[in-house]
Copies of this chain bind each other. A is one copy, B any other.
Amino acid sequence: MSRADEILEPMWRTIDSIVDEEALRRRLDAGERLRIKYGVDLTAPDLHLGHAVNLWLMRHLQDQGHTVVFLLGDLTTQVGDPTGKNETRPVLSPDAIEANAQAFLDQVSIVLDTDPAVFEVRRNSEWFGRMPISELLGLFSMTTHAQLMARDMFRERIAAGREIALHELAYPVLQGYDSFAMRSDVTIVGSDQLFNEMMGRQYQQRLGMRPQSIITTVITPGLDGGPKQSMSLGNYVALTDTPADKFGKIMSLSDDLAGVWASAYTSLDDRELARIREDVKAGGEVARDAKLTIAGAVVERYHGTAAAAREREAFLNVFSGRADPKDIRDVTISDRALTALDLLEAVRPDLSRSARRRLLAQNAVRVDGRLLGDPNEQVTVTDGSIIRSGRRAWARVTVRAGR
């Protein structure tokens, strides 16, 4: 197994295709430290599991010593990559752009390693901000109208009689030039970005640079079976969703998508994936349990084992009819560590002290599924902890930062 084989092996699961795989393999085999282009437009971010597929691939390469160059498209944001759905994008103020940049950094750091040794942040205003118009026109001269019209999205817009503004035609050129300016070796994108990144290869070659390889990734259907997860369709699981929301959304997934989601969004191994595919076919409780496994694996990936166990417990209680979602009250406490009796007082102010002691004695109180018996036991809760106190009494804890 070559070095490239070893690095790529765990990636194939979510890779759709690689443009110039030959060059990528050669460079990985040679032990080159690659620069990975990760470009975003600075609209308000709400990264979802679909975006995270690419981020996890980048993270894998970071773990091998390669550098993610996180390119904040502060200039291109003013243009907006044209899409099929919106003809124009609202103009963002510099303040809004800065706020979005910070929010992006917060969200990508959920997955990426932000150690400066393997993470670099750039802005495309660095080069476009000082580029004379004559130079931009020179870049334009390297691209033809026919070439741009080959982009599906443009063709579809025209066929539908919808307008394309001239600045939208310029977008692929700008995104392409970014690859040159930031010296991209490889980029990992959804297939909808393949056209623009091929422009990147073209500009790198025309300007005398080795062209980047392009890894495109699988696009996973939305929760509703729509073609993909999309912010505007609301059929997605956001990286910033609470563990409870992540768990619940995945449990709402239709059975026929379970296999695809498990493969794309978890690191469950092949044997486990095969079993999930079998189980969802069986339907009923077996299929439900398969989705519990997926939901648990996703929550575990982002929030750890304890959170996964907790959400599983909470879901099962709701699902089994022992608790109705509306019965789960939200309770705010100010201490993370307190005695079982004090916790119960916060959760059940409706009961007398003796009634609370009785509940504990009756083994009717659980925190994240763990039984509490001793009233003086020290209990640690975290945001989202689920506390059961009796047959149909459930509470979810929010910890308010103390003094």
**Is A150 in contact with chain B by the CB < 8 A criterion?**
no
From B88, B128, B134, B170, A140 is in contact (CB under 8 Å) with B170
**Is A5 in contact with chain B by the CB < 8 A criterion?**
no
CB distance B166 to A78 under 8 Å?
A: no
**Is A260 in contact with chain B by the CB < 8 A criterion?**
no
The smallest beta-carbon distance between A355 and chain B, in angstroms, is 67
From B129, B137, B154, A167 is in contact (CB under 8 Å) with B137
Nearest CB to that of A171 among chain B residues? B137
Interface set, chain A 45-82, CB cutoff 8 A to B: 75, 78-79
Among A157-165, A290-298, A385-393, the stretch in contact with B: A157-165
Contacts of A165 in B (CB 8 A): 140-145
Interface set, chain A 137-184, CB cutoff 8 A to B: 137-138, 140-146, 148, 154, 158, 163-170, 173
Contacts of A88 in B (CB 8 A): 141
The smallest beta-carbon distance between A204 and chain B, in angstroms, is 18
Nearest CB to that of A161 among chain B residues? B146
* Identical chains bound together, number: 2
From B129, B137, B144, B173, A163 is in contact (CB under 8 Å) with B144
CB distance A170 to B166 under 8 Å?
A: yes
CB distance B134 to A78 under 8 Å?
A: yes
Contacts of A132 in B (CB 8 A): 129
The smallest beta-carbon distance between A174 and chain B, in angstroms, is 8
Complex Cα spacing A79 to B78, Å: 24
Complex Cα spacing A134 to B166, Å: 13
Q: Tell me whether A144 and B164 are in contact in the complex, defined as CB-CB below 8 angstroms, given that A75-B133, A134-B78 are known contacts.
A: yes
Q: Tell me whether A166 and B148 are in contact in the complex, defined as CB-CB below 8 angstroms, given that A78-B134, A131-B133, A141-B88 are known contacts.
A: yes
Complex Cα spacing A88 to B132, Å: 21
Contacts of A142 in B (CB 8 A): 165
CB distance A145 to B170 under 8 Å?
A: no
For the complex of A and B, the 10 pairs showing the least CB-CB separation, nearest first, are: A140-B167, A140-B166, A145-B164, A141-B167, A144-B163, A137-B167, A143-B166, A141-B165, A128-B133, A79-B137
Complex A-B: 10 CB contacts under 8 Å:
A75-B133, A79-B137, A129-B132, A129-B134, A137-B167, A140-B170, A144-B166, A145-B168, A146-B158, A146-B163
Known: A144-B163, A144-B164, A146-B158. 14 other contacts (CB 8 A): A79-B137, A79-B141, A88-B141, A133-B136, A136-B136, A141-B165, A143-B165, A144-B165, A145-B165, A145-B166, A145-B169, A146-B164, A148-B166, A166-B169
